[in-house]
């Protein structure tokens, strides 16, 4: 079976307002030449273009999907929030929460972004495709039920999960988030539940500053079903692969999910402006292959990657190409221009030893 690739040009049309990096322009904050927030369309558009140019897109089942329905959204987000978002969207746009500006039609674009994730997960669970990548934009893993933040307007992955559970296609889903920022929205939505395992690999104390601690393990029925794996800034390939092998793999296998969803941010890249980690495109390919091997063992290969962060227009296309190429088992490669620099700057043996002791401490905390 083939790999599905879900995308839509309209998702690239989401507008983020007049910002200079993370600050609204005005006063002493001069507008940047490019304008807008770091979460812009070009890193995603350039990823799709790279897939076309190398020929990898021809090996995928590329398609759009319907937007998530109001019913889909309302399983995660309160009616009052949806009404307010829709009202602002129908008028002139606006901002809800923190750093989540949008223009007219922003509600429809965000619903489409969630719809792409929903379709990808649905089609994988139905057996129409083996695995899938959803190029969702705007992203979703920071969005709380009633408070968007971190560029995320709707909780794309949570909406997709609730949809397939409501349709009887799955009961237990594991979410592994390797975005450089903590997946606080996904965590909050499923924090009290034992039918969704949430695992977040992230840079310690990046964003949000006050979430993502390893001691936050879930509540009530969800106790033990939320696992935060904060990694020290500067950690590279060794940190991520060791954390996966020692803290992620067996926990997900023991959970025995019906499918695995990856919150696939590429902002742990060694040149990302909003992260301080050190991954290369090849490392994202290796993480994807690890996720595929895990899915093959526990859920007949049912795996979906949903695009989240990643703010280097230069590097995200190559990171995404490596991940999608791995998903498809393709021999087509796109040489990463940043590979020599990032691999040459990997931490040395002393830092790797420090990282190993850090992971030992995390293991103790995660096991309660």
Catalytic site positions: 142
Instruction: Retrieve residue 294's tokens.
Output: 């895990």
User: Is 96 strand, coil or helix?
Assistant: coil
Nearest-angstrom CA–CA distance, 211 and 223: 17
CA distances from residue 265 to 18, 26, 137, 180, 191 in whole angstroms, order as listed = 24, 30, 12, 7, 21
CA distances from residue 301 to 152, 157, 200, 211 in whole angstroms, order as listed = 28, 18, 21, 31
Nearest to 319 by CA among 51, 36, 39, 14: 51
Sequence-ordered list of residues with C-beta below 8 angstroms from that of 58, at least 6 positions apart, any chain:
none
Nearest-angstrom CA–CA distance, 213 and 366: 10
- Residue 73: CB atoms within 10 Å: 26
């Amino acid at each position: 079976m083939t790999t599905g690739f879900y995308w839509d040009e309209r998702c690239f049309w989401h507008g983020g307002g007049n910002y200079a990096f993370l600050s609204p322009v005005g006063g002493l904050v001069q507008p940047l030449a490019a304008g807008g927030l770091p979460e812009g369309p070009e890193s995603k558009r350039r990823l799709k273009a790279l897939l076309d140019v190398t020929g990898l897109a021809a090996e995928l089942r590329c398609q759009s999907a319907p937007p998530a329905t109001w019913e889909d959204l309302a399983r995660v987000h309160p009616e009052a929030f949806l009404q307010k978002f829709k009202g602002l969207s129908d008028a002139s746009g606006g901002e809800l929460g923190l750093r989540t500006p949008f223009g007219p039609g922003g509600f429809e674009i965000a619903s489409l972004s969630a719809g792409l994730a929903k379709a990808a997960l649905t089609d994988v669970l139905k057996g129409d495709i083996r695995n899938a990548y959803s190029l969702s934009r705007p992203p979703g893993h920071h969005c709380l039920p009633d408070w968007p933040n971190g560029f995320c307007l709707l909780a794309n992955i949570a909406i997709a999960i609730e949809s397939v559970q409501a349709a009887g296609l799955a009961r237990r889903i594991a979410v592994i988030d390797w975005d450089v920022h903590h997946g606080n929205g996904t965590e909050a939505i499923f924090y009290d539940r034992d039918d969704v395992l949430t695992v977040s690999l992230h840079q310690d104390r990046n964003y949000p500053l006050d979430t993502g601690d390893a001691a936050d393990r879930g509540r009530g029925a969800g106790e033990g079903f939320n696992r935060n794996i904060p990694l020290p800034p500067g950690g590279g390939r060794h940190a991520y692969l060791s954390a996966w092998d020692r803290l992620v793999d067996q926990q997900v296998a023991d959970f025995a999910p019906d499918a695995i969803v990856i919150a696939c941010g590429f902002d742990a890249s060694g040149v990302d402006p909003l992260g301080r980690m050190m991954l290369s495109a090849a490392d994202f390919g290796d993480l994807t292959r690890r996720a595929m091997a895990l899915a093959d063992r526990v859920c007949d290969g049912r795996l979906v990657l949903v695009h989240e962060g990643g703010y280097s227009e230069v590097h995200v296309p190559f990171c995404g190409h490596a991940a999608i190429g791995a998903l498809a088992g393709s021999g087509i490669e796109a040489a990463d221009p940043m590979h020599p620099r990032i691999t040459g700057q990997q931490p040395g043996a002393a830092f790797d030893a420090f990282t190993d002791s850090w992971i030992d401490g995390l293991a103790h905390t995660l096991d309660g």
